Amino acid sequence: MTTETTPCLRLFLDHAAKNSDRGGPITSWAPADSLTGHLELSGAEFMAIEDISMYFEGVARNWITECAEYERDPRVNKAEHKFLTQAQNIVPTTVSQRALSPERFIYEVPFHFVIPKAIARLDSEVPEHCMQLPPSLELGESITDESTGHIFAQPSISYYLRADITLNTGSGGSSMTIDTSLPVIVTPYTKEFPPTETMDFPAEFKEKESKELRRHLMSRGLGMMTVSVREPPALSYDIQSVHASTEVSVMLDFKSEGSSQIYQILQSLNFEVSPLLRIKTFYSLQSFPSLPSRSLLSLKGVMRMRDEIIKLDRKSIRGVSWKCAFQLIETPPRSASLPGGRWITHLSIPITVDTRLLPTFCTSVVARLYTTILRIKVVGARVESFNLEVPLQVVHRFPDQHQFMQTDPIRDEQRFLAFRRDSESSWLSDEALRILPE
């Protein structure tokens, strides 16, 4: 069969059926969107179609390098994990035939898929937030499998429409099967989940730190200052926003050792806060044994992590108002000999990101997690800087998701994965995971 007579198979997706293009130059689709269009088969000869199969699929393709003990060069290993498959039964009566000319035959088959809101739950132990569809992404260096043409990255998540047709041209030849695929960009809407149980991850987060406060380097200690922070409300994006903001509440708890001037000393303190946003992207050739964390990484393992930092605007805080814990009221500076004891104040730290981030998500082989890092310097006393790190969720809000907002609408956001993360059970199946030989 020559190139001129070889049948041609193409997929056409109806972009006009998309309710919103999300304001971008490339059409992206969300869960519950309909994928409609038609499959076109063309050829120079009459073709008898024997079978048609159409699918909408989601797949993760990751690769890593490994150094064996006695090998000089690193070895490339890659794996494919199909986490979503939808099939459509094609009824023969839906196939229409037309001819552009006596020498060219055209066959068309309509298709209709609906993007699901979640991945099918094969294991009841899998947390809800790990059942939501992940976004399309391709990070790091990519390589191409020469035998299939598939692209692997660090990591890669892709969606596509795929069609297989078995046909006979009627020219005395045997049946043949041809296939084609069409990529689909999926950007899911997400919601916020309860805060992370940080005690399950003692090496991953740092919610509290205590240091001794001195007036001067060689002076007597004034007391112990403890700085603590909890997971803030999520960073949330609406359908077109390219920035999001939230606020972190920091508690300062100072236990005085009895100085009569402690109130005046505390009132004179200023604070310099340097917030950072940490982006952790985990990817693996095998299913994660639990929600991924840095403690699962090893040089000989098959899991890797991309670690990125975004510097945010610094904040200087002056004129902090302290409360005596025993009085539970704001203490006015009316006396130079107020009692010692325990003093508490709170700092509000704005977190504003001027770029659109991927939502927090996890699958069995790819996960995107975020944390907020706070570096707090005390000005006016001798004490080392405090360094804290807590979970942060990033969500892409549903267009009509006002009912999901449970806190004040100060931020242009809504919540997705701040997971109640289970660090012990193995809830991610290796089903559909394919390790590809090099």
In tens, the pLDDT along 221-280 reads 789 999 999 999 999 999 888 999 999 999 999 998 766 788 888 999 999 999 999 999
Residue 420 has pLDDT above 60, yes or no: no
Q: Are the C-beta atoms of residues 271 and 381 closer than 8 Å to each other?
A: no
Position with higher pLDDT, 175 vs 24: 175
Give 354's contacts (C-beta < 8 A, 6+ positions apart): 242, 243
Q: Which of 138, 154, 184 is the last residue of a domain?
A: 184
Question: What does the pLDDT read at residue 377?
Answer: 97
Q: Rg of the Cα trace of the chain?
A: 29
For residue 28, give both structure tokens: 């992206």
364 contact partners, CB below 8 Å, separation of at least 6 = 81, 83, 130, 287, 288, 428, 429, 430, 433
In a domain, 317, yes or no: yes
Q: What's the mean pLDDT in 61-84?
A: 86
* Residue-wise pLDDT tens digits, 289-307: 888 888 888 767 899 999 9
Q: What is the pLDDT of residue 121?
A: 66
Task: Give the pair of three-digit tokens for residue 229.
Answer: 């922070």
Residues 179 and 204 occupy one common structural domain: no
- The answer to whether residues 128 and 229 belong to one domain is no
pLDDT value for 272:
97
Task: Please indicate, yes or no, if residue 191 is contained in any of the structural domains.
Answer: no
Q: What is the pLDDT of residue 329?
A: 45
Question: Is the same domain home to 212 and 234?
Answer: yes
Q: Cβ neighbours of residue 14 under 8 Å, at least 6 residues apart?
A: 36, 37
| Statement to judge: residues 230 and 166 lie in one domain | no
State which amino acid sits at residue 286.
Q
Domain assignment of residue 419, yes or no: yes
> What pLDDT band is residue 74 in, cutting at 50, 70 and 90?
confident
pLDDT over threshold 80, residue 103: no
Range of the domain at 48: 8-184
Give the end of a domain, one of 129, 151, 184.
184
Residues 165 and 264 reside in one and the same domain: no
* Mean pLDDT, residues 377-390: 94
Same domain, 400 and 262: yes
Does residue 343 surpass a pLDDT of 50?
yes
In a domain, 283, yes or no: yes
**Percentage of residues in the chain having pLDDT higher than 70:** 79
pLDDT per residue as tens digits for the range 160-171: 999 999 888 766
Based on the fold, state whether residues 172 and 209 are members of the same structural domain. no
In this structure, what CATH number is given to the domain that contains residue 65? 2.60.40.640
Question: Are both 222 and 118 inside the same structural domain?
Answer: no
Q: Using 50, 70 and 90 to split pLDDT, how confident is the model at 327?
A: low
Give the pLDDT confidence score for residue 17 in this predicted structure: 61
pLDDT at 409 over 70: no
* Residue 189 placed within a domain: no
Q: What is the separation, in whole angstroms, between the first and last Cα of the chain? A: 32
Question: Please, which pLDDT band fits residue 210 given cuts at 50, 70 and 90?
Answer: very high
| Per-residue model confidence (pLDDT) at position 25 | 56
> Strand, helix or coil at 132?
strand
- Residue at 3 is within a domain: no
Is there a single domain that holds both residue 57 and residue 165? yes
415 pLDDT exceeds 70? no
Give the pLDDT of residue 295. Answer: 84
| Res 400: pLDDT | 67
Instruction: State the pLDDT at residue 4.
Output: 60
Q: Who has greater pLDDT, 44 or 236?
A: 236
Average pLDDT over residues 119-145: 83
3-state secondary structure of 52: strand
Shared domain check, 376 and 239: yes
pLDDT of residue 117 exceeding 70, the answer is: yes
Tell me what the pLDDT averaged over the chain comes to. 82
- Identify whether residues 93 and 203 lie together within a single domain: no
- Pair (179, 261) in one structural domain: no
Q: What is the DSSP annotation of 264-314?
A: HHHHT-EEEEEEEEEEEEEEESS--SSS--GGG--TTSSEEEEEEEEE---
Residue 96 has pLDDT above 80, yes or no: yes
DSSP 328-366: TEEPPS--TT---SEEEEEEEEEEEE-SPPPPPEE-SSE
- How many structural domains comprise the chain? 2
Q: Which residue has the tokens 């004040």?
A: 408
Per-residue pLDDT at 375: 98
pLDDT at 89: 80
Q: Summarize the confidence of residues 204-221 as an average pLDDT.
A: 87
- Domain presence at residue 1: no
Label residue 216 by pLDDT band (50, 70, 90): confident
Domain boundary residue, one of 127, 160, 184:
184
In a domain, 416, yes or no: yes
Percent of the chain with pLDDT over 90: 51
Residue-level pLDDT at 176: 87
The strand pairing partners of 122, in sequence order, are: none
Is the pLDDT confidence value at 127 over 80? no
Confidence of residue 417 (pLDDT cuts 50, 70, 90): very low
Query: What are the distances in angstroms from CA 312 to CA 16, 365, 368, 412, 417?
Result: 39, 30, 19, 17, 22
